[in-house]
Structure 1
Amino acid sequence: MSYQESFINFLKYEKRYSPHTVTAYKKDLDRFVEFCTKMVGDFHVNKVDLKLMRSWVVDLMEHDMSPRSVSRKVTAVKSFYNYLLREKIVETNPAINVPLPKIRKKLPNFVEENNLHHLLDDDLFENGFRGSRDKLIVSLFYGTGVRLAELVNMKDQDFNTTEYLIRVLGKRNKERIVPYPREINKLLEEYVTNRDREIVNKSGFLFVTEKGEQVYSKLVYRVVKSNLAKVTSLEKKSPHVLRHTYATHLLNNGADLNAVKELLGHANLAATQVYTHTTFEKLQQSYKQAHPRGGKND
């Protein structure tokens, strides 16, 4: 058995990686071995050095590989050599100091305010149980910025309808209290009335299917996607886009960055700062419109 096969078995049976991840590692490793064989003849793990690793990265870039894909492939080789180090087959990891192409951070997509107002204010949802449920789902994502899993696991008693607050159980079972728009109370009452009249809730959760079972992530994703498609041409239409939209609109309208961090349940400020790009764009636009010489150099 080759070292590569031993490594793949290690990922499968000891690390218990998913079949998809294992297949990706195997493909990346096979491509690396193929390149090394072409460059130095018979592949041997001890023949690989930093110079050969750099040549491989250059070769990948010349084949129009994206920086993200290149980084993933180098990570696969780095993991392979960490395994070989552990097994005392090699003494160094040649991939450890490989310079990688810079990955451009994707800016979060968000829906324009007027588009969401149109969706939520202009009777674009059907009547009855399903329509009231779906409208409440979209309204909560946009009105609170909760994650998909957080919404799926909401219960009726999580709402303080007097104070307009909701208890959210986030990552690592960390609880936070999030304010919500007053109009949610009306949507919540309408949905719960329809649900309790038409459905036997077997789940104990707020959001249920027509069979009374707890909604599942794919269903909620479909609800958001189909409804956002009515008002936006964004390629991605997901609950996470509504979370991005929530944060972006808050910051664009003057919310404090630290406050938004707490509302989103982020562990550190760096995760929240990705949203500030739109705030700066809005500030620049306001400056150009308001300053006597703001638009002179356009």
Structure 2
Amino acid sequence: MIIADFLNYLQYERSRSLLTVKSYGEDLEAFEAYFKKLNCHLSWESVDSDIIRDWVESMMDKGNSATSINRRLSALRSFYRFALSRNQVRKDPAREVRGPKKAKPLPQFVKEKEMNGLLDSENWTDDYKMLRARTIIMMFYETGIRLSELTGLDDASVDFGGRQLKVLGKRNKQRVIPFGEELDETLKTFLQLRDKQVGKQSDALFLTDKGQRMKPAQVRYEVEKYLSKVSTLAKNTPHVLRHSFATAMLNHRAGLESVKKLLGHESLSTTEIYTHTTFEQLKQVYTEAHPRA
């Protein structure tokens, strides 16, 4: 009866859809069946927070997703708030129970052989747009900078003598990123062609054909255009190249703290997600290579 009262309240007083009412009913019946199986003398009034936590754990053990479990918990909380307001129960045991955190998806990255195939392709020409696109992609992949950081680069940001970039990151924090010989030569070639064909009308490093600083949308378009030629990912964005930089660094034995500083992360826990990516890659290699895997 207590569940029926709540469902009538949802349908007639809150005007919830029939599908929502049905889902709430199924969730509440599932919990009632659970606690009655534990002890047939238990009731909605006598259930405590520990029983609800045990229910959550049992759903996790059965492989239910965090989204599904949290949806059921939400239904239970709504039910107890209603029952408490109608004096059908004297306490709300669901209020203090927290559901499982949603697992963060692993960052998508482009494999090294795909990046090598793109950057070393013979299809690149000396055309300004193509040289600019290749330089931008190389800059993302070899430094790990963000899109906003790249479009904010000026000529003065590049120190060719020390082979390093001065980048203005989040919250106006500056960091210095080293770069290698290949990017050094590519940048110099690009700058020569840029000054010859476009001229120097701005302090910006990457200029449009009309000599203006490139906007994020323009950079994003060029990255997607060329990256999609070698990548099968659903999204081929500058951020994917940032992920690819971090993954490549860790795969080649860079320390986690060093990668954190290069990426400009505040917390090491943010950088640690890339270790999961490299471990998944390691598992795949093991499975494919070991004869008894």
Q: Aligned residue pairs: how many? A: 229
Letter aligned with residue 215 of structure 1: M
- Taking the aligned partners of 1:236 and 1:57, their CA distance within structure 2 comes to 37
Q: Does 2:10 correspond to 1:39?
A: yes
- Give the Cα–Cα distance (whole angstroms) in 1 for the partners of residues 192 and 8 of structure 2: 68
Residue in structure 1 matched with residue 139 of structure 2 by the alignment: 140
Asked if 1 retains the 8 angstrom alpha-carbon contact of 2:107 and 2:277, the reply is no
Q: Any idea what the Cα deviations from partners look like across 1:236-259, whole Å, max 9, x if unmatched?
A: 100000000000010011110010
Give, in whole Å, the separation in 2 of the partners of 1:36 and 1:198.
71
Residues 7 and 24 of structure 2 are in contact (CA less than 8 Å); yes or no, is this contact kept in structure 1? Answer: no
After superposition, the Cα gap between the structure-2 partners of 1:37 and 1:245, relative to the gap in structure 1 and judged at 3 Å, is farther
SS at match of 2:207: coil
- Alignment check: 8 A CA contact 2:106 2:277 kept: no
Aligned to 2:217: 218
Q: Distance in 2 between matches of 1:257 and 1:57?
A: 46
**Are the counterparts in 2 of residues 225 and 238 from structure 1 also a CA contact under 8 Å?**
yes
What CA distance in whole angstroms lies between the structure 2 residues aligned with 1:203 and 1:56?
64
Normalising by structure 2, what TM-score? Answer: 0.68
Verify the 8 A CA contact 1:120 1:135 in the aligned structure 2.
yes
Displacement after TM superposition at 1:155 (Å): 0.7
**Partner of 2:61 in structure 1?**
none
User: Which ranges in structure 1 are unaligned for 5 or more consecutive residues?
Assistant: 1-34, 45-51, 60-65, 79-93
Alpha-carbon displacement from aligned partner over 1:96-145 (angstroms, at most 9, x marks no partner): 75644642210111111111111111233332221111111000000000
Larger radius of gyration: 2
Q: Paired residue for 2:162?
A: 163
Are the equivalent residues in 2 in contact too, given 1:57–1:70 (CA < 8 A)? no
**Is this contact kept in 2: 1:109–1:244, CA < 8 A?**
yes
What is the letter of the counterpart of residue 127 of structure 2?
G
RMSD: 3.5
1:183 aligned residue: 182
Q: 1:205 to 1:97 in 2, by over 3 A?
A: farther
AA matched with 2:290: G
1:105 to 2:76 alignment: no
SS in structure 2 of the partner of residue 212 of structure 1: coil
Q: What is the CA–CA distance in structure 2 between the aligned matches of 1:124 and 1:38, rounded to whole Å?
A: 66
Q: Is contact 2:144–2:246 with CA below 8 Å preserved after alignment?
A: yes
Alignment of 1:189-268 (within 5 A): 189-268=188-267
How many percent of aligned residue pairs carry the same amino acid? 37
CA spacing shift, 1:224–1:39, aligned 2, 3 Å:
same
| CA–CA distance in structure 2, aligned partners of residues 211 and 225 of structure 1 | 22
Give the unaligned 5+ runs of structure 2: 1-5, 16-20, 29-64, 78-92
TM superposition score normalised by structure 1: 0.67
